[in-house]
Structure 1
Amino acid sequence: MLCIPAGARLPVGAALAMAFVWLAVFLVPVSGLLPPDHDPYPIDISDPDPPIKNLRMEPERKRLTWDLHGNVSEIMCFINSKAFTKARKRTYCSIPDLSCQATNYSIKVTKGQPFSTWIQYPSQEGNPRAAADNLTCWVHDVDFLTCSWAVGREAPRDVQYNLYLENLDSYEKWPCSQYRADEQGTNVQCRFHNISVLSKDQTRFLVNGTSIGSKIPCSETSDRLAKIEVLAAPNITSRWCNQSYSFMQWQVRSHLNDDFKYELQIQKIYKAFLELNNPGTYTVQVRARDATFSHYKPWGPWSVPQHFVCEEGARLPVWLTSLLIALGTLLAMGLVLRFCRFSVMQKLFPPIPHMKDHINGKLQNGRTMTWDPDQDSQEECPVAEVQVLGET
């Protein structure tokens, strides 16, 4: 601290410097009271009757609700300081997904008397570092779902973990059917054996912890099963080759997806079959991945290597040869029947010839016939009168 004797006078420059020093001393504590991200809608502590009271969570209805006492026109709801929806009827906000972990839920009056308040739900219990760590789940081998996690870094020695699946729309739950434990007997992995009975909607994976001497917070993650599936290797169902082409067909099984992309070691394709010029003897593998989420999902494993022997003069498969013979026979029979039908129709309905028009010098319909006056007609048509018009 700077001390100045009584009655002493300071030069003008020194007096100004001293004034700046004291000004800084008084301003620093005031600015330190304002947090860097201070609330633009602070609570009016002086208001004995705030516009919003009794902020609470209704987990069964998935609602953040409160009692409205003031005249406000718009309220926004926040989760961990991030705005996510506008209040409905100015009295509640629907929460799409309630977390099992402690989360800050707040509301702010954005039109009307400035006001904000918040709650934590659920209340924080136990040491967060005792909860299951690095929870990861994936679908694999068509029918199986596996979730794994690590023991919390500060978990007590007697900690035990249990996993549940929950449908976020219906709240239906499925407990783990098979656990795998570490050397201390703590569950660190769970496997479900038949995912066809599980929900295909958004699913929550929840791990609760228990201990005799302390409370263990939960761990969770959520996703659709279709997004976390690792496709099984395709099964090559048929293959054949001839002198010109090699053909193979495969199948991919999944309870969750039906749109796939495929990759061969020789080229990329986007259909469930491949036709190549005969490459001779070769070995090929194929793998698949989900086309819907292909931008971030990895490829599945390669299929078992398939060995092809396509020698020169290789024959077509028996079923294809039989099919070609049957088609050829049907085609030949169709041509014969068509020819016979045309011949029979010609005999039953012969074309009627036409006489030449001597007056106009034209043919009627382009057809003529020779008239033999000496030939006896099948019918005698007597002529009553003949009029000679001229000679040609």
Structure 2
Amino acid sequence: MAVLLAFISLLLVPLNPACFTDPAQEKVSPIINLKLDSRKKMLTWNSRRNVTWQECTIDAPLDPPISQTPQVAEDGTYFCTFSNSVLHRGATLTVNVTSEGHEFKATLTFCNSGREGSGAVNFSCLIYNVRFLNCSWAQGPAAPADVRYHLYMWASLHGNVSECAQYVLDPTGTRVGCHFDQLGEPQTTDNYFFLVNGTSNETDIQFLDFTPFVATEIEKYNPPANLTARNNGSYYVIQWDNPVTRFNISSHVLYYELDIQRKGSFSKTDPVFQRGENRNEYLMPSSAVTGVHTVRVRVRHVYGDTWSEWGPAQPFGFPEKNFTGFLVVLIGLVVGAAALSSIGLMFLCKRFSLKQKLFPPIPQVKRELAGSFTPTRESNLCSRSIHAAAHVRASLLFLAE
């Protein structure tokens, strides 16, 4: 009897709740506190029981879905960071987990509140003169007249956020740009994050976000320095120095354009493109250089699209000889000589006629001898010489024309 009572009392002992799973609890998702930090683009959540598998996904318009495995913070919070996605067009974020053999899913839909078309557009930034940064944008097509845009920048995912201190205004007083003159110490791994939002008394303004700007690719370099061109007999050797840059980068990521033109020519020569080297050099055969040429150079990052300004043009080559001028001078000399010859012949002929008048021929001289000195034959000789000289002069004048 005592054994039977002991067995019955064992059955009546309440069971520990941890020893079994409530069927209703199995249907409750372990995902709680699902949140999105839109600035950091970080999705966070907690789990109220153990999970064996997790995955997070972002699906944004115009971009393919991106999935990744969550990380765990020190306080046990799970998180996923989508730094290469944009949120201003809206997005759907999803967390999928497996817990105790069951699959669960939690979804967060993000919307960019505000009037459609009120946010800033055409945003761009560039670094120039090694240490300055300029950003610009345009007013949204549906933005109200009193819109006031705000630009925020941070240099790392968890870095401090700073608002622009020097805004650029358009003629109506709207903020359309910003100048930064304190960029901090440069690092080749720098990525710049930007966010433009706005305020208005009329309506909410949509924000504009971006994928990270790779700092090394948005720098506008100064023009290449020390451009020279010298002839070594076989080639014109064109050399230049790499520009001073904000970041310590390899010369091989620099991309140069050489503009070589012949002075006075109406046709344009195609540009020459060349990757950077430790010693930049371009060889142009001397035989290909006739007359004076000029060369100028500009540079950009090989993966960027912002060119530097053109550097000063450097002349090289020799002027062509002016054969036309030389021919004109030569013809002038020949014509002058012909004219002097004609004048001399005319003078001699006139002198001969005067001599005949002063010293008439002696009748006793033999006819053969006297005939050789007759005025008629001498006059004919002078006439033919004068006509020949005139013909030569006329031909030379025609050639000169």
* TM exceeding 0.5: yes
Say yes or no: does 1:138 pair with 2:126.
yes
Distance 1:117 1:288, change over 3 A: same
Partner residue in 2 for 1:287:
298
Distance 1:69 1:237, change over 3 A: same
- Alpha-carbon distance in 2 for matches of 1:68, 1:175: 36
After superposition, the C-alpha distances for 1:183-239 in whole angstroms (9 at most, x for unaligned) are 321011223346565665111122121223433232122211212233333223444
- Alpha-carbon distance in 2 for matches of 1:150, 1:59: 23
- Alpha-carbon distance in 1 for matches of 2:138, 2:155: 24
- Alpha-carbon distance in 2 for matches of 1:61, 1:179: 24
Distance 1:277 1:177, change over 3 A: farther
Distance 1:197 1:218, change over 3 A: farther
Question: Alpha-carbon deviation of 1:54?
Answer: 2.8
Which residue of 191, 203, 227 maps to 1:214? 203
Correspondences of 1:145-184 after superposition (within 5 Å)? 145-184=133-172
- Paired residues of 1:166 and 1:172 also in contact (CA < 8 A): yes
Distance 1:60 1:246, change over 3 A: closer
Partner residue in 2 for 1:234:
224
Question: Alpha-carbon deviation of 1:158?
Answer: 0.9
After superposition, the C-alpha distances for 1:362-391 in whole angstroms (9 at most, x for unaligned) are xxxxxxxxxxxxxxxxxxxxxxxxxxxxxx
Q: 3-state SS of the aligned residue for 1:265?
A: strand
Partner residue in 2 for 1:303:
311
Question: Alpha-carbon deviation of 1:77?
Answer: 0.4
- Alpha-carbon distance in 1 for matches of 2:306, 2:38: 37
Partner residue in 2 for 1:76:
55
Q: 3-state SS of the aligned residue for 1:129?
A: coil
- Alpha-carbon distance in 1 for matches of 2:201, 2:314: 56
Distance 1:58 1:161, change over 3 A: closer
Question: Alpha-carbon deviation of 1:132?
Answer: 1.0
Which residue of 244, 248, 256 maps to 1:253? 244
Q: 3-state SS of the aligned residue for 1:226?
A: helix
188-197 or 253-262: bigger deviation: 188-197
Question: Alpha-carbon deviation of 1:154?
Answer: 2.0
- Alpha-carbon distance in 2 for matches of 1:79, 1:244: 62
- Alpha-carbon distance in 1 for matches of 2:202, 2:159: 30
- Alpha-carbon distance in 1 for matches of 2:126, 2:312: 22
- Paired residues of 2:132 and 2:179 also in contact (CA < 8 A): yes
Question: Alpha-carbon deviation of 1:105?
Answer: 2.3
Q: Which amino acid in 2 is paired with 1:87?
A: P
- Paired residues of 2:218 and 2:306 also in contact (CA < 8 A): no
Distance 1:235 1:216, change over 3 A: same
Structure number with the higher helix fraction is 2
Partner residue in 1 for 2:28:
49
Correspondences of 1:101-112 after superposition (within 5 Å)? 101=88, 103-109=91-97, 112=101
Distance 1:298 1:132, change over 3 A: closer
**TM-score, length basis structure 2:** 0.55
Distance 1:139 1:249, change over 3 A: same
**TM-score, length basis structure 1:** 0.56
- Paired residues of 2:154 and 2:161 also in contact (CA < 8 A): yes
Q: 3-state SS of the aligned residue for 2:117?
A: helix
- Alpha-carbon distance in 2 for matches of 1:187, 1:61: 24
Q: Which amino acid in 2 is paired with 1:219?
A: L
Distance 1:243 1:175, change over 3 A: same
Q: Which amino acid in 2 is paired with 1:158?
A: D
Partner residue in 2 for 1:356:
none
Alpha carbon RMSD of aligned pairs, Å?
3.6
Distance 1:143 1:273, change over 3 A: farther
Distance 1:177 1:63, change over 3 A: closer
Distance 1:113 1:276, change over 3 A: same
Q: Which amino acid in 2 is paired with 1:253?
A: V
Q: Identity over aligned residues, as a percent?
A: 30
* Aligned length, in residue pairs: 264
Say yes or no: does 1:115 pair with 2:93.
no
Q: Which amino acid in 2 is paired with 1:77?
A: C
- Paired residues of 1:66 and 1:92 also in contact (CA < 8 A): yes
- Alpha-carbon distance in 2 for matches of 1:138, 1:242: 40
Q: Which amino acid in 1 is paired with 2:312?
A: V
Question: Alpha-carbon deviation of 1:107?
Answer: 0.6
Partner residue in 2 for 1:87:
70
Distance 1:236 1:166, change over 3 A: same
- Alpha-carbon distance in 1 for matches of 2:175, 2:119: 12
Q: 3-state SS of the aligned residue for 2:315?
A: strand
Q: Which amino acid in 2 is paired with 1:151?
A: Q
